[in-house]
Chains A and B, each alone.
Chain A
Amino acid sequence: AQTVTQSQPEMSVQEAETVTLSCTYDTSESDYYLFWYKQPPSRQMILVIRQEAYKQQNATENRFSVNFQKAAKSFSLKISDSQLGDAAMYFCAYSGGSNYKLTFGKGTLLTVNP
């Protein structure tokens, strides 16, 4: 079974600084997708960024980028120029195989200090 591990239960960053959230996963599939979701205090889950495993190029979305290391099964999220609105729980998620299920990590709570 696929597993997703987020080793940092909590992280903090100063406003305008850069922070990296870690995620590792375990799978025997060769074709899969990885996601980072954000859950602010409203508890609405918001898709931040996605990565296709067959792509070597790391995905970027404005201030958000990933470092995808397929051999190491690592998928970290970098947030640049952190803003107060980035404060949230961040979940790493995996989807692969013949179904469309998402497997989530337990999350990292990010605090942004002014």
Chain B
Amino acid sequence: DGGITQSPKYLFRKEGQNVTLSCEQNLNHDAMYWYRQDPGQGLRLIYYSQIVNDFQKGDIAEGYSVSREKKESFPLTVTSAQKNPTAFYLCASSIEGVAGIYEQYFGPGTRLTVT
């Protein structure tokens, strides 16, 4: 089946540790995105990548890093510099569709808890 996978579903870390969240897609999509979701908030964009080996900061990139070495993969590292890392993280991908619309398709998400 084609889709986006994120692993693990739940992740627990101690404060001060870096942690990497996985995102893999087999949809052959060019663009990939990372969002953060907090209670009572919409989704906020962390980083996005429109092509392999290139990525841009989103609205809340501080304390996060990414890489895009393969088209299928876009891992997100939450560093110890991120002041409030506990959140739900969603990965998405997109491709140009009808009328130039870049519809985004989402993975199931990873719930990160840092104590």
Q: Which residues of A contact B (CB under 8 A)?
A: 4, 9, 33, 35, 42-47, 50, 52, 91, 95, 100-107
Whether A102 contacts B31 by the Cβ 8 Å rule is no
22 A-B contacts (beta carbon < 8 Å): A4-B42, A35-B103, A43-B108, A43-B109, A45-B43, A47-B105, A50-B101, A50-B103, A52-B101, A91-B43, A95-B101, A95-B102, A100-B31, A100-B48, A100-B94, A100-B102, A101-B48, A102-B33, A102-B104, A106-B40, A106-B41, A107-B42
* Interfacial chain A residues near B99, Cβ < 8 Å: 52
Whether B101 contacts A33 by the Cβ 8 Å rule is yes
Whether A44 contacts B43 by the Cβ 8 Å rule is no
Whether A101 contacts B58 by the Cβ 8 Å rule is yes
Whether A102 contacts B45 by the Cβ 8 Å rule is yes
* Interfacial chain A residues near B55, Cβ < 8 Å: none
Judge if B106 is at the interface, Cβ distance under 8 Å. yes
Apart from A50-B101, A106-B42, 13 more pairs, CB < 8 Å: A9-B40, A44-B106, A47-B103, A47-B104, A52-B101, A91-B42, A95-B101, A100-B50, A101-B48, A102-B43, A102-B45, A104-B44, A106-B41
Q: Given A91-B42, A101-B45 in contact, is the A44-B103 Cβ separation under 8 Å?
A: no
Whether A44 contacts B108 by the Cβ 8 Å rule is yes
* Interfacial chain B residues near A44, Cβ < 8 Å: 106, 108-109
